[in-house]
Amino acid sequence: MILAALAGCTVVAPKTRLMVDDARPTSELIRITPRDRAGNVPAAGRFEVRSPEGTLERVTVAEFQDGARRTVPGRISGDGHSWRPAPGGLGLAARYTVDVVARDASGHRAVRHSMFTTYVPEHRFLGYFTPEPYTTVGTGMIVSFAFSRPITDRAAVERAIRVTSRPPVEIAAHWFGSSRLDFRPRAYWKPGTEVTLDLRLRDVRGAQGVYGSQWKTVGFRVGRSQVSTVDAAAHTMTVVRDGRPPETVPVTAGGPGSDTYNGRMVITEKSPVTRMNGETVGFGGEYDISDVPHAMRLTASGTFLHGNYWADPSVFGTQNVSHGCIGLPDAQGGDPSSPAGRFYDTSLIGDVVEVVRSPERVVAPDNGLGGWNMSWDQWRAGSALG
């Protein structure tokens, strides 16, 4: 840890050999705040170099944090009596070295080396975000952050995350509780859009004694458009891809008492094969299928669109018999030429699947990436920045 390393540090004078004015101690000519070897300095604390009775000629400040070194920018005042850093403040859990050269009224030069460390927070928070960096996603992708600790200073955290796009569109944030923050545009992204996430969370206060640690820029690309509409009453799914003629395939949705949610959902995971066990979603031992093919998650609560090989083929297009998922015809082991296989191969994380005419309520906006079920005004009202 940084503080432990300080015990072995050696103070090294600057390479330039400069004479110190014997008549005026260096500590009087050059004054540095915080004091030499100060510890637990607040990041927002006062930091300056002064020479009230002399002139500052050079001030060099270095920051050592997370194994990296950077030069701290700043400027000497017009009268040469003070130096202050550029806006931005100090970093947490960092070590700083300050090297100063000043000249008194008689022309004698003095040098001073100082060092201090800033406060090391006991707790840090991270933001785990969707989608994966540098991937290609569907036009319905919502940027979602799940924080490792509850956030009470929501405005500060929201302000430290910037989501932009090329071409530019209006993008707004919405908080779901204290640990989740989502970003989306007013309408679906246009194909080909490049989206950039700037995370400036390092040293941002998320809650009492809890500070961020991330400082990075990542991005993703929006691919072609695909929106699929499941008509639960007609037992069909109509797929519209990049304006091509619609393709309609037969499906089976949730049966009575286990009806599929209405509303717009987004594909958040794709698995060639997965296990589905009723005990994990409140259906007891009603089913346990170890090899469900071509599975695509739509909600966090367990709604999937997947291949179905165990149901009688006659139910597709005629009946709803599932426990809430949307099933497409498939074969055991997964047939890439089946309706489920073809849809799986042409789908992206971020594609929209909308269910209509189901007896069930509309999916909650925080159940998966369901934020498209909110109006733009409702969405913007969830921002901590007003």
The catalytic site residues sit at 306, 325
The DSSP call for residue 376 is: H
Calculate the dihedral angle through the C-alpha atoms of 350, 335, 247, 193, rounding to the nearest 10 degrees.
Answer: 20
Q: What span, in angstroms and rounded, lies between the C-alpha atoms of 277 and 289?
A: 6
Q: What span, in angstroms and rounded, lies between the C-alpha atoms of 219 and 216?
A: 10
Count how many residues are written for the chain.
386
Cβ-based neighbour number of residue 49 at 10 Å: 24
Q: What span, in angstroms and rounded, lies between the C-alpha atoms of 72 and 51?
A: 19
Whether 191 contacts 197, CB under 8 Å: no
Whether 115 contacts 36, CB under 8 Å: yes
- Taking Cα atoms as reference points, which of 169, 348, 167 lies closest to residue 269? 348
Q: What span, in angstroms and rounded, lies between the C-alpha atoms of 306 and 297?
A: 8
Q: Look up tokens 């909308």; give the residue.
A: 354
Give the β-pairing of 54-65 and 38-41. unpaired
Give the DSSP H or E segment for 118.
strand 109-118
